Structure 1
Amino acid sequence: MSEKLVIGLAINPWAGVGGSVALKGSDGATTAQQAIALGAEQRANARVDVSLALLTDYRDKLHWLTAAGDMGEQALLRAGMQAEVVYHSNPAGTEQVTSAADTQAAVKAMLAKGVDLLVFAGGDGTARDICQCVPEQQPVLGIPAGVKIHSGVYAISPTAAGRVIEKLVIGELASLQLADVMDIDEELFRQGQVRARRYGEMLVPAELQYIQAVKMGGKESDELVLADIAADIIESMEDDALYVMGSGSTVAAIMEEMGLPNTLLGVDVVRNEKLLAADVTAAQLQKLLAEHDKRYLVITLIGGQGHLFGRGNQQLSPAVIRCIGKAQIRVVATKTKLNDLQGRPLQVDTGDVALDRELNGLISVTTGYHDQVLVRVAAVD
């Protein structure tokens, strides 16, 4: 056992389930059940599968501790890994939504056995739950699977998480850094208000290529620049074309310039400068897109992180993005926001590895009136 890297794996199987149906979070059993009733699917395990697929060559060098069923055991078995189950959330076998208490109990059981690295999949709520029970000297790594991911303890994508673990296995990565655990009030989030709070910090592998930055929020301060961006996008809008308006304050400025109500933290649809649908789900988007031949997506990046897809906008599903097409994506951002990335590329984490790779390359970003810059988009391989 001593020659193997001991890794604990804890999955919140309900993480992110509310994203595609515009619930803007998945915290709590009621929200998760509501999401399923609206047609959402659990995707956390699928994202863990992506990470584990990169580790199949190292099966003999890894010893996994995990929780039963879809909290970790099933994912490891699918990857051909041997797993030691140290926690059962549902011994009776009846269907139920796992809770924060289950996550914490599972993690405590793994820590009691001793782990070199604790890997978990979820969102900010999961990170917050784990932070409460993990000692400060315990290295951790998050696989992003939630709707809200403001915390700096997550890899920038499931693939990136797999790469970090791979580096640890072969001894290429040893240094650690403290990263903030952040979370926001989901109820206020659904009302269009972002109120983030720091809940602590945890140790993560210090590999900046693969670990995301803490989200930087706030409305753009330069209103003149936002007005110029809005003017450029509105001037270019085609008659009878469908425009999917992504979330964020930069896109909100465009909606405001058109005199339209806006779902700051959701996705709206515009046609002929009129609001066609507000705060839509992925399924609603697909239906609307199918009814229109001309369709575009207007989207901005998350400040400080650089994510275009996969953070708070899961309504923009792989099917939706493919239907619109890369050539019809209009990215908007101020040069200040781009400069804050310090040369890092824009990130895509759609949940579809093939699509992420298709989105790689240079993309034009509107930064003012008739002012564009080319920025690199990169999925982590």
Structure 2
Amino acid sequence: MVQCSRVVKVGFIVNPIAGMGGRVGLKGTDGEAYKTALERGAEPVSPRRAVEFLNHVSSKCFEIYSAPGIMGADEVSESVHRDRLAMIVGSTRKGASTTREDTVRIAGEMKRLVDILVFVGGDGTARDIHEAVDGELPVLGVPSGVKMYSSVFAVNPRAAAELLVRFINGETVIEEREVVDVDEHAFRLDRVSLRIYGYVKTPVYHGLLQSSKSVYAGMDEELNKEAIAEYIVETMEHGTPYILGPGSTVKAVCSKLGVSCTLLGVDVVLNGGVVVKDAWEKHLLEILDTYGTAKLVVTPIGGQGFLFGRGNQQLSPRVLSLIGRSNVIVVATESKIRQLKELLIDTGDPAVDKMLEGYYKVVVGYGRYRVVKAVSYV
């Protein structure tokens, strides 16, 4: 029988719609985007990520104070820790969709009851938790959104589970970490408007938390992107579709080709022309079915190092498994790659994560490379 020196009270809140817009190209699920996501056939992401997190928590020295129904209690009941549920906190309107007001209210009730609050969602959910908790207790994010630029998130659900165990065992330090979000309306219009909304206390243990997103600018940066783009265009294979991931480093390829692409979406070019603009999973699967193969050009998120799983969920596990690791071309400017010790992968499918691991020759200039290792936390 496990002997516990103390039993940690864990608050648990799930945003059930977080991340649904990713695979269908909506770059978020705020407001009306949720309805559009449903129309495009999007499926829930957070409940699965929540259960994955719970099932990997190896400690028994905790009890769960959960939000009701699909906001937490349902996921707890599906997990191996269903017997850890000590209390359901708060309520939601019967038969109604959950709202951010539910998150804020329930988190506010929890902060008087628990030792740490774990939430499953994205940057918008992190903002709601920050508003409710106001620095009064530690907060840990299980990543399940689309962007997740805040530094309160673990690398993936399994890393979040280990981090919670480390917290329970008294092995973490508490730091103030940034809550960052973008204007989703501007984001869908290809404009990045980042803002720091505040800080929350977060348990930290080496290698388990992600960093905040960094933005790089300047004339040297733009010249570096142009050199990378020129090299990619000159080495493109005729008759092969090229899937271009989000980000200005990748989309410099479109400028070099003289075609119009999205900055923050996924586009497909073939023989110098655009065949799909702002593609989502469905379109990418159709391209792969039609042509049998494709090259994928991606760049890691600055500061964080995520290659897959942040802001490019259109590149779903199914799409990535069909493309294959050998057809992935990674590009990054010198200033971006110098700040990254490794590249990170969190597709939502551990088998695909493992397939994509390994060393990549990252294109950092015209015909110039740096070899960087890509890892996932399993």
Q: What is the TM-score of this pair, normalised by structure 2?
A: 0.95
The amino acid that maps onto 2:214 is M
Asked whether the equivalents of residues 54 and 166 of structure 1 are also in contact (C-alpha less than 8 Å), the reply is: no
Match of 1:36 in 2: 38
CA distance in structure 1 between the aligned counterparts of 2:283 and 2:13, rounded to whole angstroms: 32
- Greater Cα shift, 206-215 or 3-12: 206-215
1:356: how far off? 1.1
Q: Is the 8 A contact 2:227 2:365 kept in 1?
A: yes
After TM superposition, give the deviation of residue 47 of structure 1 in Å.
1.2
Where do 1:103-252 residues align within 5 Å?
103-112=103-112, 114-173=113-172, 175-219=173-217, 221-222=219-220, 223-252=222-251
Name the structure 2 match of 1:73.
73
**Aligned-partner Cα distance in 1 for 2:98–2:267:** 32
- What one-letter code is carried by the residue in structure 2 that aligns with 1:49? V
| Aligned match of 2:358 | 361
Query: Deviation string for 1:109-158 (max 9, x for gaps)?
Result: 2223x211100011111111111110313101001111121111111211
- The letter of the residue matching 2:122 is G
Question: Paired residues, what number?
Answer: 371
Gaps of 5+ in 2: none
2:377 maps to: 380
Identity %: 39
Give a deviation string over 1:297-332, Cα, whole Å, max 9, x none: 000010000001111111010001011000000000
* 1:221-274 deviations in Å (ceiling 9; x for gaps): 422221221121112211110110000010111111111112111000011111
Q: TM-score, normalised by structure 1?
A: 0.94
Q: 1:220 to 1:239 in 2, by over 3 A?
A: farther
Residues 114-123 or 73-82, more deviating: 73-82
RMSD between aligned residues: 1.5
Cα deviation 1:62-113 (Å, max 9, x = unaligned): 10001111111121111132322112213x3x2x43111011122122223x
In the alignment, is the contact (CA less than 8 A) between 1:247 and 1:313 conserved in 2? yes
Q: Match of 2:15, as an amino acid?
A: N
2:54 equivalent among 46, 52, 58: 52
SS of the residue corresponding to residue 291 of structure 1 reads helix
1:267 aligns with 2:285: no
Runs of at least 5 residues in structure 1 that lack an aligned partner in the other structure = none
CA contact (8 A) 1:220 1:250 kept: no
Q: Which amino acid aligns with 2:156?
A: S
CA contact (8 A) 2:182 2:193 kept: yes
Tell me, what secondary structure is at the counterpart of 2:279?
A: coil
**Is the 8 Å Cα contact of residues 348 and 379 (structure 1) preserved in structure 2?**
yes
Q: Which moved more, 1:324-333 or 1:129-138?
A: 129-138
**Counterparts of 1:162 and 1:221 in 2: how far apart (Å)?**
42
